[in-house]
Amino acid sequence: MAPVAFLVSVAVFLLIHLTPGDPAAIILGEEGSASTIAALHKELGLDQPLTTQYAIWIARVLHGDLGSSLRTHQPVTQAIGERLPATLELGLAALLWSLAVAIPLGTVAALRRGSLLDVLASGFTVAGVSVPNFFIGILLILLMGLALRLFPVGGFVPFTEDPFQNLRHLLLPALTLGTAGAAINMRFTRSSMIEVLGQDYIRTARAKGAPWLRVVRAHALKNALIPVVTVVGIQVGSIIEGALVTETVFSWPGVGKLAVDGIFGRDYPVIQGIVLIAALSYMVANLLVDLTYAYLDPRITYS
Amino acid sequence: MSTAAAYQAGPPEPLAPGEGGDVRLSLPALVRSQPRILFAGGLLLLLVLTALLAPAISGHDPILTDPDNALLAPSRGHWMGTDELGRDLLARVLWGGRVSLPVAFVAVVVGLSVGGLTGLVAGYRGRVTDLLLMRAVDAILAFPALILAIAIVSALGPSLRNAMIAIGIVQIPVYARLTRAQVLQLKGLDFVAAARALGASPLRLVARHLVPNLLNPLIVQVSLSAAFAILAEATLSFLGLGAQPPTPDWGFMINDGSRFLANGAWWLALAPGLAICLAVFGFNWLGDSLRDALDPRLRR
What pLDDT is recorded for position B12?
A: 43
Tell me the pLDDT tens digit for each residue of B41-71.
899 999 999 988 888 887 788 887 878 877 7
What pLDDT is recorded for position B274?
A: 93
Tell me which of B143, B254, B277, B285 to substitute to probe the interface with A (most A C-beta atoms closer than 10 Å): B143
pLDDT band at B188 (very low <50, low <70, confident <90, very high): confident
Question: Does A7 contact B136 at a Cβ distance shorter than 8 Å?
Answer: yes
Mean pLDDT of chain A: 86
Report the chain B residue with the minimal C-alpha distance to residue A124. B281
Tell me the Cα Rg of chain A.
24
Distances (CA, A) of A267 to A68, A83, A178, B12, B157: 9, 16, 29, 47, 13
- Please say whether the beta carbons of A293 and A301 come within 8 A: no
| B178 phi, psi to nearest 5 deg | -60, -50
Q: Which residues of A touch B139 (CB under 8 A)?
A: 4, 7-8, 11
Question: Does A1 contact B1 at a Cβ distance shorter than 8 Å?
Answer: yes
Tell me the pLDDT tens digit for each residue of A81-136.
999 999 999 999 999 999 999 999 999 998 888 888 888 888 888 888 889 989 99
Report the chain B residue with the minimal C-alpha distance to residue A138. B258
Tell me the pLDDT tens digit for each residue of B85-138.
878 888 888 898 888 899 889 999 999 999 999 999 998 888 898 988 998 898
C-alpha to C-alpha distance for A191 and A179, rounded to whole angstroms: 19
What pLDDT is recorded for position B273?
A: 92
pLDDT band at A255 (very low <50, low <70, confident <90, very high): very high
Burial class (CB in 10 A: 0-12, 13-18, 19+), A50: exposed
Give how far B149 is from chain A: nearest CA, Å: 11
pLDDT (average), residues B17-34:
63
C-alpha to C-alpha distance for B217 and B179, rounded to whole angstroms: 9
Q: Which residues of A touch B241 (CB under 8 A)?
A: 263
Q: Which residues of B touch A130 (CB under 8 A)?
A: 227, 277, 280-281, 284
Report the chain B residue with the minimal C-alpha distance to residue A145. B262
Tell me: pLDDT of A156 over 80.
yes
Question: Does A135 contact B269 at a Cβ distance shorter than 8 Å?
Answer: yes
Question: Does A11 contact B139 at a Cβ distance shorter than 8 Å?
Answer: yes
| All structural domains of chain B | 25-299 (1.10.3720.10)
What pLDDT is recorded for position B8?
A: 36
Tell me: pLDDT of A200 over 80.
yes
Q: Which residues of B touch A290 (CB under 8 A)?
A: 1-2, 4-5
pTM (predicted TM-score)? 0.85
Tell me the pLDDT tens digit for each residue of A13-51.
888 777 777 777 777 777 778 888 888 877 777 778 888
Q: Which residues of A touch B285 (CB under 8 A)?
A: 126
ipTM above 0.90, yes or no: no
